[in-house]
Structure 1
Amino acid sequence: MTVDDLPVPALFVCAEHVSSNTQFCSLPEAVQLQISDITQQFNLNSTAFYKTIELRLQQHIYSISLKKSSQAQSTVCCVFNTQASEQRSIDDLVFNHSGEAMMVTDKDDDVIRVNDAFIMLFGYP
């Protein structure tokens, strides 16, 4: 399988070699450069094998999934769920002002975010 076989915008980094598929090349150039830099830094410096990053650029939100190979110094980056910042602002407004206690966790069940109702009910953080 190559990066071109992936059905989403994708980037592959191995040492100094960087390749991307046509969907990735269709993203705005500034977004491509930022995602490429993040992927290269993750490949060189991270000890984690998997990470998801939310990147806000040019009134859009990009969910970036990074997966590092355990055998080689290489990383695959896939870009998902581009969403307009305006929609995200509405989502944030509902989350922050809901009367119901809400908590957001990551895949490891680490708490990422809580709303004011959650803090009032449970005293967290």
Structure 2
Amino acid sequence: MTIENPSRDEIGEILRKKKTIAVVGLSDDPTRTSYMVSEAMQRSGYEIIPVNPKAEVILGMKAYNSLSEIDKHIDIVNVFRRSEFVYDITKEAIEIGADVLWTQLGVIDEKAFELAKEQGMIVIMDRCIKVEHALTK
């Protein structure tokens, strides 16, 4: 099976409409890619909700232990974890009713892709949300 992401135009439309992003694996270390990408998205007007059980506040926002603790609708679950964690994160994203599952560069799980698609989610894998945002402005 091959991962087939939405077209660049479709990704642009997603990023214009979906503004609440839960970032699973968002580090509180400003030198980490997850922090820099999320900070850039926050500066671009997106609401960033950190999911990191080892932190209390990241980018000025309360950090949550898991997606299920967040008490509002999540448009995009952006995953900054290794591929072996994606399937369980996908199950949690489905449980909370998130619209989009997005994994960062190098993060691919075909079973998670299929599961999310079967549940009606939009799935984008192996793409940097910050780069896609810049390309679709």
Scaled by the length of structure 2, the TM-score of the pair is 0.25
Greater percentage in strand: 1
Scaled by the length of structure 1, the TM-score of the pair is 0.26
Answer with 1 or 2: which has the greater Rg. Answer: 1
Greater percentage in helix: 2
